A and B are shown apart, each in its own frame.
Chain A
């Protein structure tokens, strides 16, 4: 039935295109500008990054040039900072994903329930997503987490504890808190949209059959959200792999290399040490990492895409 109707639709569309198509000018001039600029935007820098990663190329040392073979990569993998940055990247991405997805799911269910002023409460809850990263980071670092003047320091003193110097004692945890605060609203927005599309009759039926709220959550809501959760995970991963501004304005990768992630390492190599070759080798690693995730994300989008 479904296949029959869809094949009729295809036939109809094809027929319409042949009738109208003869009078329609080629679509090439309309498509070409976007395709060409995106192609250039993707291919040229990508090829250049690859090329530089096999070259001796340091802006401070113009004398040494030429083909480096795998030297840049060899230098990269023998550099303890690189492995530290890779681990930091994974810790940051992993922690923020767990925090935002778990809390985001619970909050989505919470904000699906009616209560007085729900609309306003939702607006307040999603607000952090619209705050620019440099503002989020500095407001948290100074107004919230400053050991003497910050609100959190004040609260810890009120309950009689010693205030914590967050960025000195727990630098990575501090960055994770800030980034999670920015991305929790994103997870909430997307998952709330998905929860609202849940069939209420189905839940009602489950309730009639004696399923409690917890059983309903695990056997109806969570399976329904599976797809949305996987999309949130993939999109967040792509952005979180290259968190930069938050680290740049709070810790500058430190203390030591405690908060240097891959993005910050590449930035430091390229624009602080002017080692173009080494930075490019790092860039290739970042691209490969992102592509693993992107592969699954594109496949997931493709399933829903109707053309």
Chain B
């Protein structure tokens, strides 16, 4: 389609303008994280200044930042691995040995994702209290695995469906058992798909902020909860808030950018192609 020069300039200006406006808060957060507290609240705001890493150091000094980051890593990775461990066999069974119940089972699994967490907050909280799981990594790992299990099963199912049956059958003829078939044939063949499924689960766990705020306080609190502690009035230190936030967001932002396509696939359950 031919467009006039004016149109093309307008589109480029709009496209870049919108992108910069949407990204601005993130940009400003990163910039502020390299300022001193004084410079962070200077009026007019400073765009050029002498960068310092002081805020990053102070965040670690005042609170054990490494512990919260470690909690985030352990809980996200643990929740994701647990979900994969449950989901891979189920997705394999549904993709390669479907029965008349498979469709219904898959839809039912997805529907469990639609139960609002706040509707079951009370019983989960009381159960956790009784079992001594409040403020433990184990508790959150279990919740996150369950929370993401439907999406993980569904995504793996769609990736497994793309593998030709003949390849697995050839393996079966050679006498591979089910576990061998999954481990040595299916997973290597679908590694990119399995990896992007894991990545999506990781992103969702990392950014989850309902269960982490309600079920953890200090010991097992991930970064979402730690950042929330800056909401108290005495926590109003812009540079430190920005520094803590930047480290919390940076890794997952990069993962997110890498896995945009799969994200659409996973988050819409294939309803949009």
Contact present for A301 and B249 (CB under 8 Å): no
A34-B149, A45-B123, A133-B224 in contact; A139/B25 too (CB < 8 A)?
yes
Interface membership of A244, Cβ < 8 A: yes
Interface flags, A150-164, vs B, CB<8A=1, else 0: 010010001000000
Indicate the size class of the contact surface on chain A: 35 or more
Q: How far is the CA of A24 from the CA of B255 in the complex (A)?
A: 38
Interface membership of A121, Cβ < 8 A: yes
Interface flags, A243-273, vs B, CB<8A=1, else 0: 0110011100000000000110011001100
Contact present for B29 and A143 (CB under 8 Å): yes
Interface flags, A128-161, vs B, CB<8A=1, else 0: 1111111110111111100011010010001000
Among B119, B224, B256, max chain A CB count under 10 A is at B119
- Chain A at the B interface: SS class: helix
Interface flags, B6-39, vs A, CB<8A=1, else 0: 0010011011101110111110110010000000
Residues of B within 8 A of A193 (CB): 261, 264, 272-273
CB within 8 Å of A: which of B226-250?
Answer: 227-228, 230-231, 236, 238, 241-242, 245, 248-249
Residues of A within 8 A of B125 (CB): 270-271
Q: How far is the CA of A144 from the CA of B32 in the complex (A)?
A: 12
CB within 8 Å of B: which of A256-297?
Answer: 262-263, 266-267, 270-271, 276, 279-280, 283-284, 286-287, 289-291, 293-294, 297
Contact present for B149 and A37 (CB under 8 Å): yes
Interface membership of A35, Cβ < 8 A: yes
Contact present for A48 and B123 (CB under 8 Å): yes
Interface flags, A190-201, vs B, CB<8A=1, else 0: 100110010000
Interface membership of B206, Cβ < 8 A: yes
Residues of B within 8 A of A121 (CB): 15-16, 18-19
Contact present for A144 and B25 (CB under 8 Å): yes
CB within 8 Å of B: which of A97-132?
Answer: 107, 110-111, 113, 115-118, 120-132
- Seen from chain B, the residues whose Cβ lies within 8 Å of a Cβ on chain A are 1, 8, 11-12, 14-16, 18-20, 22-26, 28-29, 32, 40-41, 43-45, 86-87, 89-90, 92-94, 97-99, 102-103, 105-107, 109-112, 114-127, 146, 149-150, 153, 161, 165, 169, 172, 178, 203, 206-207, 209-210, 213-214, 223-225, 227-228, 230-231, 236, 238, 241-242, 245, 248-249, 252-253, 255-257, 260-261, 263-264, 267-273
- Seen from chain A, the residues whose Cβ lies within 8 Å of a Cβ on chain B are 16-17, 20-21, 23-25, 27, 29-31, 33-35, 37-38, 41-42, 44-46, 48-49, 52, 107, 110-111, 113, 115-118, 120-136, 138-144, 148-149, 151, 154, 158, 181, 184-186, 189-190, 193-194, 197, 203-204, 207, 227-228, 231, 235, 238, 241-242, 244-245, 248-250, 262-263, 266-267, 270-271, 276, 279-280, 283-284, 286-287, 289-291, 293-294, 297-298, 300-302, 304-307
Task: Please name the 9 residue pairs, one residue from A and one from B, whose CB atoms are nearest each other, closest first.
Answer: A130-B256, A48-B123, A45-B120, A245-B209, A294-B114, A30-B89, A115-B12, A121-B19, A34-B90
Sample of 9 more A-B contacts, CB < 8 Å, known A34-B87, A276-B122: A46-B119, A48-B122, A130-B256, A189-B263, A280-B123, A298-B114, A301-B107, A301-B271, A306-B161
Q: List 27 A-B contacts (CB under 8 A).
A: A25-B178, A31-B93, A46-B119, A52-B123, A118-B15, A122-B19, A124-B20, A124-B23, A128-B25, A131-B253, A132-B227, A132-B248, A133-B209, A138-B227, A138-B230, A138-B241, A142-B236, A143-B25, A148-B41, A158-B44, A181-B22, A203-B1, A242-B210, A248-B228, A249-B230, A266-B119, A287-B115
